[in-house]
Amino acid sequence: MAAQRTYALVVGAKEERINLRVDAETKRLLESASEAAGDTVSSFVLGAATTAARELLADRTVFRLDEEQWQAFDAALSRESRDVPGLAELIRTPTILDENP
| pTM given for the model | 0.49
| pLDDT tens for each residue of 27-47 | 999 999 999 999 999 999 999
**Residue 6 — very low, low, confident or very high, per pLDDT cuts 50/70/90?**
low
Q: How far apart are CA 66 and CA 5, in angstroms?
A: 7
How many domains, the chain? Answer: 1
Domain-located, residue 40: yes
**Model pLDDT, residue 68:** 96
Domain-located, residue 73: yes
Domain-located, residue 12: yes
Domain-located, residue 26: yes
Domain of 28 in residue numbering reads as 4-78
**Residue 16 — very low, low, confident or very high, per pLDDT cuts 50/70/90?**
confident
| pLDDT tens for each residue of 49-64 | 999 999 898 878 777 8
Domain-located, residue 84: no
**Model pLDDT, residue 3:** 57
Q: CA triplet 43, 10, 21: central angle to 5 degrees?
A: 35
pLDDT at 4 over 80: no
Torsion of CA 83, 86, 88, 92, to 10 degrees: 180
